[in-house]
Amino acid sequence: MLFRSRPSRDTSGGLRFNFRGAPLETVLNYLSEAAGFVIVLETPVRGNVDMWSAQPVSKTEAVQLLNMAINKSGYTAALKGRTLVVSSKEDARKRSIPIRTGNDPRQIPDNAEMVMQIIPLERIDASQAAADLATLLPNSATITANVDSNSLVVIDTQSNVRHIVELVSALDGSAGDRKSTRLNSSH
């Protein structure tokens, strides 16, 4: 038997979570009531959520926790002002998701927000990198090479993008080391 208790709002303004086997719709209703979010469903949602916290969480943390919980079911949530838009990850790729640029994994938050990340490359070829990396990516990720700017364009959660950028950064950096080693050994 699953234990479910009614989540409560902390008097300090934080949100308390205690969802064990709770229908996703129940969690969304709670976020609307307790956090004041306006919920917009761009797709019908199904599934149960298991997430709890003994300590209050902020609204931002609540959305991050929600994303982590629903990500495995193929959904994502994006907060735009007070509006929490829930859609399938597939639909999210085609709509207005945040666009980030950079190749430093330390600058990418480790959360489940869907983003489009443009990763500039310095030493390796974008087309070859995209082909090489395609088999290493999670099924949820897409990768495209932009030849003109020698960049990769990756769409996925920031956690997955961060991991991909770590890999790309290591490959891009080691390519420079290999080239300089070859130049030094030829003299």
pLDDT at 181: 37
Chain centroid to Cα 56, Å, comes to 23
Q: What is the pTM of this model?
A: 0.70
Amino acid at site 169: S
Q: What are phi and psi of 102, to 5 degrees?
A: 150, 160
Edge-to-edge strand ranges of the sheet holding 83-88: 38-41, 83-88, 75-80
Q: How many helices (H) and strands (E) does the chain have?
A: 5, 9
pLDDT at 92: 83
pLDDT at 94: 79
d(CA 70, CA 117): 21
Please give the chain's pLDDT, 187 residues, in tens.
344 444 544 445 689 888 999 999 999 999 999 999 999 999 999 999 999 988 999 999 999 999 999 988 889 999 889 999 999 988 888 777 889 999 999 999 999 889 999 999 999 999 999 999 999 998 889 999 999 999 999 999 999 999 999 999 999 988 655 444 344 444 4
pLDDT at 12: 53
How would DSSP label each residue in 37-95? PEEEESS----EEEEEEEEEE-HHHHHHHHHHHHHTTTEEEEEETTEEEEEEHHHHHHS
